[in-house]
Structures are given as C-alpha cells and as structure tokens.
Amino acid sequence: MRPLKILIASDSVGETGENVARASLAQFNISSVKEVMIRYPYIDSEETIDDMIVVAKENDAIVVYTMVKPDMKAYMERRMVEENIPHIDVMGQLLEMLSVRLDEVPFYEPGLVHQLDEDYFKKIEAIEFAVKFDDGKDVSGLEKADIVLIGVSRTSKTPLSQFLAHKKYKVMNVPVLPEVNIPKELLEIDPKKCVGLIIDENKLNKIRKERLQQLGLNSAAQYAKNERIKEEIAHFKKIIERIGCPVIDVSDKAIEETANEIIKYIDNQRDIKG
C-alpha cells in the first residue's frame, strides 16, 4: 500500500478542507491523522501554487483544496492536471450551485467564514471578561480593559458592562465606596478609557429602597438613606476628579442610550490616539 499523505491547500487558513479530510479519514483505520495531513494555507500567487505543487509531488499527496479566487483556482487546477496530482475541490461545486440558485455572484473573498468566527469569539471573550472583572474583583483587569466604568452602587455598572461586552468591548466596572480605598492601579491606567456613572440622588434613593424590598430587607436601611447617598456621591466626585475622566448621568437613560454614549466617547478617543 502506498503511504498516504493529504495536502490541504487554501487561500485562507485551510480549516474547511482539513475538517472534510478528517471526517473522511475517520472512516478508515488511520493510526495518526496528524501525520497524514499537510496544511498549505494562504496561497495568494502563482508562485505559491508552484511551491505547493512541488510539496505535493514530493509527498505523493492527494490535494484537498478550498480556493475561492477564480484565477488562482484555475491556475492550481491546471497545474495539478499537468503534474498528474490527484485532487478534489471541496467548495467549488456548492459555490456554483448556490450562485445559480441565488442568482448572485459569490464574493470570492478568502477567509470570510473565519472573519465571522473571529467576531463571535471576540464577543464571547468580552462577555467572559465582564463577568470575571465585575465589581472590581481583580485589579489585573484594569490594564486589559477597553472600558472601565466607575460608580456608586445601583448606577447600572453591571448591565452596562454586559451590554457593551455584546458589542465586543472588554469592560471592567469598579464600585466606589467612602470606606474602601480605590485600587492604586485605577490611577495609573489611561483615564481616557475610564467613564464615571452618576445618578440623581432622589432616583438612587428610590432604586435602592426597591432593591432592599426585593431582597426582603428593611427599606429604611443605611444603604438607602439620603445622607448615605449624598456621602457616596460626594466621594465619587472626588475620585473622578483625581482620575480625570468624563461622567455620564444615567438618571433618565436606558442602558442602550448610556452604552451608545460610552461607545461614541471611547471610539472617539481611539481615533484621536490612533
């Protein structure tokens, strides 16, 4: 039996072709699929194709390919026929069928599926980040965060963090309390990625009383008293002055409104910086 080698050729990363090859190899008694496979990604010129042809011939390989650029694909197919290299196109026929059925011309852009995947994984990463660094649990998140939200309790820091995470921003939120010193790292990071959240004292009083009732606690607790709220807001303002970041009043804003305001500010800072 001739030694088996499968060369995965692609103008992107080659994952699609490799997955098809792996699924096929699973139907046979192959001890090490990894040793059988040769991946040849990011083919973008005739010279690269010629190099791939040499590798395929040297290994007596079957070529499994996913090429979407018509000119590169045509050149590769012609060269493989000339060199008598066994080959299979795992996307071509389906692309042609879809083009006919949809009455559309394909984009012919390599790697689009991986761009979508990357977008998805960035979102998941941001969501996990928001959970991990909620309420200032780990100060190491300050340096890694795209946005740092600062505010007293019940200023929508957590829901804002999650909303922004779905927009692929890594967000850490830091609660401010008079009895607790803010982490020194907060004063060392770029203040342009920090945003303070403030709320009307009367509205905060109402929100906190409702929260205490939901928890089955006395709504007259210190947490919801006007004097306590005034103390917290005054302390918050001092902290924000030290940091030197903007403040958004969330009193009468929906989460989406506040988030859009934050995004506009952060993106503008990036444009200025970049």
| Residue 137: band (very low, low, confident or very high) from pLDDT cuts 50, 70, 90 | confident
- Confirm or deny that 156 is annotated as ligand binding: yes
Instruction: Please tell me the predicted confidence (pLDDT) of residue 117.
Output: 65
8 A C-beta contact, residue 229 and residue 170: no
Q: Does residue 2 register a pLDDT over 90?
A: no
pLDDT tens sequence across 33-78: 778 999 898 898 999 999 999 999 999 999 999 998 889 999 999 9
Task: Give residue 232's Cα distance to chain centre.
Answer: 35
pTM (predicted TM-score):
0.62
- Confirm or deny that 154 is annotated as ligand binding: yes
- Confirm or deny that 57 is annotated as ligand binding: no
Which domains are present in the chain? 6-110 (3.40.50), 115-273 (3.40.50)
- Confirm or deny that 158 is annotated as ligand binding: yes
- Confirm or deny that 31 is annotated as ligand binding: no
- Confirm or deny that 228 is annotated as ligand binding: no
- Confirm or deny that 258 is annotated as ligand binding: no
**Would you put residue 5 in left (φ > 0), alpha (ψ -120 to 50) or beta?**
beta
| Residue 215: band (very low, low, confident or very high) from pLDDT cuts 50, 70, 90 | confident
Average pLDDT, the chain: 90
Residue 242, both tokens: 């030290």
Contacts of 201 (CB under 8 A, 6+ apart): 226, 229, 230, 233
pLDDT tens sequence across 151-175: 999 999 999 999 999 899 999 999 9
- Confirm or deny that 39 is annotated as ligand binding: no
